[in-house]
Amino acid sequence: MIYTSYFAKVKKLPQNVVPISIAIKEPTGWNGLEFKVLAPKWSFLSVWKQTQDNDYYIAEYQKQVLNQLNPEEIVKRLYALSSGHDVALICYEKSGSFCHRHLVADWLNSNGFQCVEWQNT
């Protein structure tokens, strides 16, 4: 299974779910796995930080990142990184906030791979 979550919740993930950062830059002290292939590009992230134009960000992330990737290959690589365990794709924003990990989840789901936000229950 593939989940999404954020750095502040990593310690709450079950032991069998491997956190993998998809952020441009990880917080100080992060010793976990990184998968920069799914990170946004500074070019459009910096524009978004100034404008908060979500439509622009979505279009650029799609064009510059997701359209360049094969979802089957990405899933294989994620599971290889996690040694076959479930993974949680990690970045900074809280669950309800605009974030590229939700774009990744939508992309994976639309390509036949289930991906949901981790819920502590």
CB 94, CB 6: distance < 8 Å:
yes
CB 69, CB 88: distance < 8 Å:
no
Q: Residue 95: what pLDDT?
A: 86
Q: How far apart are CA 46 and CA 27, in angstroms?
A: 18
Averages of pLDDT over each 10 residues, the chain, 121 residues: 96 95 96 96 92 94 97 98 97 90 97 93 49
Q: Residue 119: what pLDDT?
A: 87
> Phi and psi at residue 71, in whole multiples of 5°?
-60, -40
Q: Residue 98: what pLDDT?
A: 87
Q: Residue 94: what pLDDT?
A: 86
pTM exceeds 0.85:
yes
